[in-house]
Amino acid sequence: MWEDRGGRLIQVEKDWVFVSDAHLTGREQEEIEMFLRFLSLEEERIGHLVILGDLFEFFFGFKNGSSEGKPFAFTDYLPVLEELRRLYVQGIQIQYFEGNHDFFLRSFFSEHFDMEVEVHSEGCEERLGEKRAFIAHGDLSNPKQWRYRAFRRILKNRWTYGLMHYAGPGLTRRVAQRLSEVSYQKYHADHHPSTPPPAFKDYAHRKFLEGFEVVILGHSHFPDEAEEWIDGRRCRYYNVGDWMVHRSFLRFTPPDCFRLERYQRG
């Protein structure tokens, strides 16, 4: 994008939008249409779309089975996936950070939709303007959740992925749905929106001590932000919250403007 300033054309970088935890099942048509409207409205403003995991209730990178006569595993997700491809064709860069409902997506987008999506199985560093930022889904923020961490290691490894491929989409999705219900009741249903879990800010603080100036997470389902100064550095933490309930997202406008926003039903 180019902008005229005082007779000079200068290049202006477009916004980044971060969204997390939509948990779309493909069955709620109104929810899908609302998310598609949001993406359409943002299309002209953004250059980067960052999905911080759990876009769908269950998302596994089943291999393309067309040569074996197998149908596509996620036909109910197609409206969203096809919209992502349309944005990609328009030149928007897309990153996907795998959440605790996402598995083995490394080659999914290129194999099924011929688009290059930068997939991260863990958190990673990113440059946002002049800031050193750490971005992750956020499910590993609480070191005291050792049972969850052990269970996560069991789920997210090549042996389990092999079993999922063998079991196929039908059985795997039924099992995943039951596990999701149990997980939601344990980690989200009993919290009040006014009291986001403190473990996420503590995690961000530890990242600030490592030298990061911005930390962006999801997973908590509570939009949140905090600021602290460490050795003269202004450090900022943002939790994107969730699309499922709060319709919240984070906007980064270069070079240094971060805003937590909420989509208003259009």
The mean-pLDDT minimum among 161-165, 198-202, 235-239, 259-263 falls in 161-165
pLDDT at 73 over 70: yes
pLDDT at 257 over 70: yes
Which residues of the chain form beta strands (DSSP E)?
A: 2-5, 8-11, 15-19, 46-51, 59-60, 93-97, 102-103, 118-120, 124-128, 131-135, 214-217, 224-230, 233-239, 248-253, 257-262
pLDDT at 118 over 60: yes
Mean pLDDT, residues 257-263 taken together: 97
Query: Other C-beta atoms within 10 Å of 238: how many?
Result: 25
Taking only the tens place, the pLDDT of each residue in 156-167 is 888 888 888 777
Mean pLDDT computed over every residue of the chain: 87
pLDDT at 193 over 80: no
What is the amino acid identity at position 256? D
pLDDT at 8 over 70: no
- pLDDT at position 170: 73
pLDDT band at residue 46, thresholds of 50, 70 and 90? very high
Phi, psi of 60 (to 5 degrees): -130, 140
The mean-pLDDT minimum among 1-10, 104-113, 169-178 falls in 1-10
- pLDDT at position 185: 56
- pLDDT at position 10: 46
- pLDDT at position 236: 98
Q: Domains in the chain, please, with CATH? A: 13-189+198-262 (3.60.21.10)
Beta bridge partners of 239: 217, 224
pLDDT band at residue 68, thresholds of 50, 70 and 90? very low
pLDDT band at residue 183, thresholds of 50, 70 and 90? low
pLDDT at 2 over 50: no
The mean-pLDDT minimum among 19-33, 189-203, 247-261 falls in 189-203
Mean pLDDT, residues 21-30 taken together: 92
DSSP label at 264? P
Residue 157, exposed/middle/buried by CB under 10 A (0-12, 13-18, 19+)? Answer: exposed
- pLDDT at position 166: 78
Mean pLDDT, residues 191-203 taken together: 80
Q: Which residue has the higher pLDDT, 27 or 127?
A: 127
